[in-house]
A and B are shown apart, each in its own frame.
Chain A
């Protein structure tokens, strides 16, 4: 009983945590470049709707995921134009991008509400998935779940072991110094935003193609904002983000598990946990030292003119 509860909880955390982790990684890339994006919610919605429509039209969820990634990347370029080229306020631009994504995805998806798709198939890993308990808990997911941890590790490697990652972090800390050292802050920030958009688009696609297998207006339900919190929670670190996403996914999963067992706990109260948890953790850390926020986060690189 307890064993199956825990196994179900863990599997649920992995499912629910996956789109959160993709979104968190995307936001982390942006923030490492010194840009905070509150519009990730809109990016995810665009990914979710474009992925879903493409899957309905082509019948292939793989093509859907690719289309969602591209849509997310391109959509985030609007934000890039505003905050990088036009040097606009990042918070206001992000909220505007969120509204745009909410509206545009509602318009695009209106005639696809109720459409059916097969979605992303679970891939059973031969032999391993046959193991008792562990099998179904760890080796019976869709491709995006298997990929997300390697992507996190890859991003860690990019951030801390490559020249590009070093340049990106330099831009996030002090764009003027990075510029003086021969980097091009604007180009690096655009690259970061495009990658972030891709990851946000995939996050949305995982919601609409793997978890819900349907499209509904505003189906992200604030996950884009949770990702912003998770980036801080994980101290801008891609590997800590894995733990953070599992924890937050766990709160969502716990709620489903308890409902399934008829435990009389309001789902709304459980839904609050991730938000209160991140606030509590931030408050607990905030007192000790300035955590590893990129120093120029939210500021505008003025260029050299």
Chain B
């Protein structure tokens, strides 16, 4: 290839990239404008709202740390979706897997509270992973046996998981000291993931980064990654070449669910400090959307999780400072997704 042509290609690639970025920024701007109009229609000042969201998220060190705190479960639940998605398994059960992970971790924290921190923390982390993983394995087995599509079973099991946690914290696990609040006894110090110097950013960040790096390495550098790609592109051909598809289905569901379980464990241990029904404001569902927006790309997951973490943190701010129901940020989140969805399809023709 002549040198000039190569240079021209690089330039045009950069331009495409740039044009893509500009278009993306324009789409997000559109979502923010529409949300501003919605706020305006309800007599709220959108400029003040945006200024508050900005200054309380990106505008200060504390705000930024809060965004990081929100990113941890979002990244983990997104990886939980991206892992099985390598072989086109659709895991819409991140929410339930998160709850079961938190439940297992809580069981460990309440029953082994006398262990020293260097044993207890690894134990409840492992329990969280195991809990989420086993919950997703139910769907994996049902799918591998050709009985129920994993889309449907993971969706249904979300509600079973949330109800199970509700049953425990309203019933057998309820802390007698807590008056009438549905919550367990608080975690002991040794079961609390430590936070970094004065912020609320906790060790869960390590889980999130490790999950992303491992995910990237496995899909790009290992034989397993290659075999997953083979299953993903042509399952029948992969089967004839001796790749154990059934094993992959169950195992990838287990790992995905386990990662979501870690999200639950880190939320309950570091952020909440006890098991409560209000454990997650829909992190599992948001994780699905993040993974989908990112196309399963690890860096894309970070970017999309960052954006949605700002939006989620913004909800708390709107509720406190502007007396708008916190759920209202779901509109902004949905608008961002709508513009991405409406655009995405032009390129790929949908899936």
Contacts and interface: CB of A to CB of B under 8 A. Distances in A.
Interface size on B, as a range, is 35 or more
B156 A91 contact: no
A127 interface: no
B181 interface: no
A272 B171 CA distance: 15
Interface stretch (A148-156, A160-168, A185-193, A221-229): A221-229
A286 interface: yes
B347 to A, nearest CB: 11
A272 B341 contact: no
B321 interface: no
B285 to A, nearest CB: 6
B239 interface: no
B325 A232 contact: no
B292 A92 contact: yes
A96 B338 contact: yes
B113 interface: no
B42 A103 contact: no
A90 to B, nearest CB: 8
A100 B92 contact: no
Interface in A273-305: 275-276, 278-279, 282-283, 286-287, 300, 302
Given A107-B328, A268-B164, A269-B163, A287 B146 contact: yes
Given A106-B325, A107-B331, A110-B325, A89 B341 contact: yes
A282 B148 contact: yes
Nearest to A39: B334
A88 B344 contact: yes
B89 to A, nearest CB: 12
Name the residue among B148, B156, B331, B343 with the largest chain A CB count within 10 angstroms. Answer: B156
A78 interface: yes
Nearest to B167: A268
Contacts of A300: 345, 349-351
A192 B16 CA distance: 38
Contacts of B160: 272, 275-276
Interface in B316-340: 324-325, 327-335, 337-338
Given A87-B345, A103-B331, A232 B38 contact: no
Interface string A242-260: 0000000000000000000
Contact of B325 (A78, A217, A266, A287): A217
Contact of B328 (A86, A89, A93, A103): A103
Given A103-B329, A276-B160, A92 B341 contact: yes
Interface in B275-289: 282, 285, 288-289
What DSSP secondary structure best describes chain B's contact surface? helix
B18 interface: no
A5 interface: no
A297 to B, nearest CB: 10
Nearest to B343: A86
Contacts of A86: 341-343, 345-346, 350
Contacts of B351: 89, 300
B184 interface: no
| From B145, B171, B324, B325, residue with most partner A Cβ within 10 Å | B325
Contacts of A99: 282, 285, 330-331, 333-334, 337
Contacts of B156: 225, 229, 275, 278-279
Contacts of A278: 156
Contacts of A16: none
B87 interface: no
Contacts of A283: 142, 147-148
Contacts of B330: 99-100, 102-103, 106
B338 A78 contact: yes
A140 B111 CA distance: 52
A100 B341 contact: no
A217 B163 CA distance: 18
Given A89-B341, A272-B164, A302 B334 contact: no
A104 interface: yes
A271 interface: yes
Contacts of B152: 228-229, 232, 282
Contact of B327 (A97, A218, A272): A218
Nearest to B156: A275
19 contacts: A78-B338, A88-B342, A95-B285, A96-B333, A99-B285, A99-B334, A100-B334, A103-B331, A103-B333, A106-B330, A107-B325, A107-B328, A110-B324, A217-B327, A229-B152, A268-B164, A286-B146, A300-B345, A300-B350
Interface of B: 38, 42, 90, 92, 142, 145-148, 151-153, 155-160, 163-164, 166-167, 170-171, 282, 285, 288-289, 292, 324-325, 327-335, 337-338, 341-346, 349-351
Given A97-B334, A278-B156, A279-B156, 20 more contacts: A38-B155, A82-B341, A82-B345, A89-B344, A91-B292, A92-B292, A95-B92, A106-B325, A106-B327, A106-B330, A107-B42, A217-B325, A225-B156, A268-B164, A268-B170, A275-B159, A275-B160, A279-B157, A282-B152, A286-B142
